Structure 1
Amino acid sequence: MPPGPSPFHIPDTVLVREMQGESVLLDLATETYFGLDDVGTRMWAALTSSASMDAACDLLVKEYDVDRPRVEADLREFAGKLAAAGLLSVA
């Protein structure tokens, strides 16, 4: 069964642009800006395209040589910071 929609959503006021493997996130309403390196960009893509946090973790564990507890902790921290900044919301 294919994964369902991601529980993570990009608010309508947030503009996302990827350039050369890195990303820029800008909330047009608050002018909050985040720059993501290549790993942050991959974490962003995993969160916004996976059906759950667990599925995003599974995807990243397969791609990077890091143990699952570390990936999960880093991904939760990353999502929390983005949510606190208003750049990512959870359904």
Structure 2
Amino acid sequence: MKITFSDCVVVPDGVLISQLQQESVILNLESEAYFGLDDVGTRFLTVLTSSDSIAAAYEKLRAEYDVDAEVLRRDILDLVDKLIDQGLLIHT
């Protein structure tokens, strides 16, 4: 299923997020898949999982970062796709 900006993403049951300083490690306890995020990726994940939609997260992140709109859009969708593929996020 294709991800759209109207979708919402959540951390599924069985996935742990551990933060150390400004970085994060996300671990799926069932599959043992894990993913490391730097400070920017951690901020993206925090905003994505606390927003009503990917579009709302995009708007918030666009206000925070001085980045080309299309680059931000692509970076958000790339991160979401990778985390969903690893079973570390689900979209609704």
Give the TM-score of the pair, scaled to structure 2.
0.89
Q: How many residues align?
A: 86
Q: How does 1:68-79 map to 2 (within 5 A)?
A: 68-79=69-80
For 2:54 and 2:10, locate their aligned partners in 1 and report how far apart those are by CA, in whole Å: 13
Q: How does 1:14-29 map to 2 (within 5 A)?
A: 14-29=15-30
- Post-superposition Cα deviations, 1:34-81, rounded to whole Å, max 9, x if no partner, equal 110001001101110111111111111111110221111110011000
If asked which structure has higher relative contact order (CA below 8 Å, sep 6+), I would say: 2
Q: 1:8 matched to which residue of 2?
A: 9
Letter matched to residue 78 of structure 2: E
Percentage identity across aligned positions?
A: 47
For 1:22 and 1:31, locate their aligned partners in 2 and report how far apart those are by CA, in whole Å: 19
SS of alignment partner, residue 41 of structure 2:
helix
Q: CA deviation at 1:18?
A: 1.1
Q: CA deviation at 1:7?
A: 1.8
Q: Which runs of 5+ in 2 are unaligned?
A: 1-6
- Structure 1 residue 61 corresponds to structure 2 residue 54: no
Q: Which runs of 5+ in 1 are unaligned?
A: 1-5
Q: CA deviation at 1:30?
A: 0.6
